[in-house]
Amino acid sequence: MSGLPPFVSRDVTLTIYDGASPSPKSASFGNGSGLFDIPGLDAGNFEVVEVKNRQEHLALLKGESKTYEFSTEITVADVADLTNPSSHRILDAIRKTGDWSSATSVETIGCDVWAVKVVISMSNTCGASATITLPKCRITGDLSMTEEGLRLTVNGTCYESPTIA
């Protein structure tokens, strides 16, 4: 135990990157609940197949590649925060429109498949930091009006193993 306080929701920033090299396009978003969810993290990036012999466990074998679902919420001050032809905006990054229309997908094999890298950064005022990188993701956005105002829920599926540093 380092004695540093844990991260809280205001310590979280979500950044979306395209696949351009060496300088990817990026957009960071920190406003919102700061809550995120990435269930099912485990060893490796694959499902496990159980092999049985006469109803008894025999072995575990490596199965298909695993995907990771994730979601987070962003508070939207006004519609200009969602889309803008000349500025990095969250819906443009999700939909590959506006300033992101010429962005490069991180998917290099699948033709015309829009995929991005998502980085969730946490950094508190005591100097502790951590980063979760989701290297190849498809993301969607759900807009809703709540008592607090317009909210965008960003949902995604990561197709490669996340890294946590």
pLDDT (tens digit, 9 = 90+) per residue, 50-79? 999 999 999 999 989 889 999 888 877 666
- pLDDT at position 140: 94
Give 118's strand partners: 16, 134
Question: How far is 133 from 118, CA to CA, in rounded Å?
Answer: 6
Give how far Cα 165 sits from Cα of 129, 131, 133, 156, Å. 9, 5, 8, 20
Mean pLDDT across 137-154: 86
Which tokens hold the place of 130?
A: 């951590």
Question: Which residue matches tokens 């809703």?
Answer: 144
Question: How far is 122 from 136, CA to CA, in rounded Å?
Answer: 20
- pLDDT at position 55: 92
pTM: 0.82
- pLDDT at position 5: 57
- pLDDT at position 84: 63
Please report which residue ranges of the chain form alpha helices under DSSP H. 90-95
- pLDDT at position 82: 67
Give 151's strand partners: 75, 144
